[in-house]
Amino acid sequence: MGNGRRAGELILVFLPVGLVILFSDAWVGDNPIARQAVIWVAYVVMLVTVYVILRVQGTNWSHLGVSFTFEGWRTVGVTIRQALIVLVLAAAAFAIGAVVMANIVGIPEGADLQSYDYLKGDLGMLLLSLAGVYVVSSFGEEVLFRGYLMTRCAEAFNGSQLGWRIAIGISTVVFALIHYDWGITGIVQTGCMGFVLAYAYLRLKRNLWVNIVAHGIMDTMLLVPLYLE
């Protein structure tokens, strides 16, 4: 596959849906549930687009490091242990990003969590939100920004070591920028976390399930306290 085709493929996957998310505020206003729904639908569209592209090219999710073949409970155990290590490192990187930015721009005001008020005490909404983030964030973000984006970028450099290093950099920057609504501190924090996740993906032989599980635990740790408030 030529680099021009790879670039066109990346534009096809990310640009249209990215524009929809960017301008979604104009359509849904301040409704947090509607905004979240737009993002979920957008990510599902991107995942379907990637799946179609892979099938057309004669490959499948395993090309990105996502195998749905059960390889035994020992493999499951190893994946979970590695995911817990990645979780700790990613959380530490997120915290380091906060410390660095606090020394540059000062300690930011507490995050405005009012948009998550719909979770408080509502078990049904919590379960629905968890199901959504597992698909969109845990699975979707890891497949799109680590598995797919990194693989395509590395392939542009024939899978060389330099190519994978560049892929880590591009994935880190893109992942940070999609969290633009978190402000500059949030962008830096997610960038630091994204770097750890990108490096882990490569270091652990592109077993994307490690990242997916780690990401899922992080999402659970973020949402459950909002429900318990």
Tokens of 10: 């990346």
Higher pLDDT, 139 or 115: 139
- CB-CB contact of 208 with 119 (8 Å): no
DSSP label at residue 134: I
d(C-alpha 229, C-alpha 214), whole Å: 24
pLDDT recorded at residue 32: 72
Average pLDDT, the chain: 88
pLDDT in tens, 124-163: 888 988 998 899 889 999 999 999 999 999 999 999 999 9
pLDDT band per the 50, 70, 90 thresholds, residue 109: low
pLDDT recorded at residue 39: 83
pLDDT recorded at residue 132: 87
* Burial class for 153, CB neighbours closer than 10 Å (0-12, 13-18, 19+): buried
**Percentage of the chain lying above the pLDDT 90 cut:** 55
pLDDT at 22 > cutoff 80: no
Higher pLDDT, 109 or 191: 191
pLDDT in tens, 59-83: 999 999 999 999 999 999 999 999 9
- CB-CB contact of 222 with 94 (8 Å): no
For the residues 30-52, what does the mean pLDDT come to? Answer: 85
pLDDT at 181 > cutoff 80: no
Indicate the pTM of the whole model.
0.90
CA angle 223, 41, 130 (to 5 degrees): 20
d(C-alpha 122, C-alpha 64), whole Å: 36
pLDDT recorded at residue 23: 76
